[in-house]
Amino acid sequence: MAREFSRTDRVAQQVHKEIASIIQNEYKHRVGDMPLITVSDVDVTRDLAHAKIFVTIYNSTEEEGKAQVKQLAEFKGFMRSILAKRLRMRSVPDLHFFEDKSIIEGMRISNLVSETIAKDESKRETDDSEEQE
């Protein structure tokens, strides 16, 4: 019987959980005032040597988001050392951080659709009231 999840998927899931915890607890205390950061996805290479960590940064401009990702990359050694203590692996994957804008773009598109629907309904109501007169 085949395994339901490959080893890379299980490692990615564990890295996702631990990195989110590290950002929430240890990283925030070292950096101080920072925007809300969420780990949206983690991809681990087949040889388990590298992990791409996709983070969503809320309430920030594009420049602030890039600066935050750069700061996360600077703290990757600190995060990797904590990760090494928490994971039961011979070697911990090298961490690479990327900004994930898909959630923010989805919210923006959803707001545009809602605004368009509201405008159409108000236009339809004004057209109906003009026809009744």
**Cβ of 48: how many Cβ atoms within 10 Å?**
17
More confident residue, 39 or 27: 39
Residues 6+ apart with CB under 8 A from 19: 39, 42, 53, 79, 83, 95
- Its pTM stands at 0.75
pLDDT band at residue 5 under the 50/70/90 scheme:
low
Write out pLDDT tens, residues 28-39.
666 656 678 889
What is the average per-residue pLDDT within 77-106?
89
Q: Determine the pLDDT at residue 18.
A: 93
pLDDT band at residue 1 under the 50/70/90 scheme:
very low
Query: Which amino acid, 79?
Result: M
Q: What is the C-alpha separation between 17 and 13, in angstroms, rounded?
A: 6
Q: Are 23 and 34 in contact (CB under 8 A)?
A: no
Look at residue 71 and tell me whether its pLDDT is greater than 70: yes
Q: Are 21 and 13 in contact (CB under 8 A)?
A: no
Give the residue carrying structure tokens 């339901």.
Answer: 4
- Of the candidate ranges 60-69, 85-94, 120-129, the one whose mean pLDDT is the lowest: 120-129
Write out pLDDT tens, residues 8-20.
899 999 999 999 9
Write out pLDDT tens, residues 57-67.
887 788 888 88
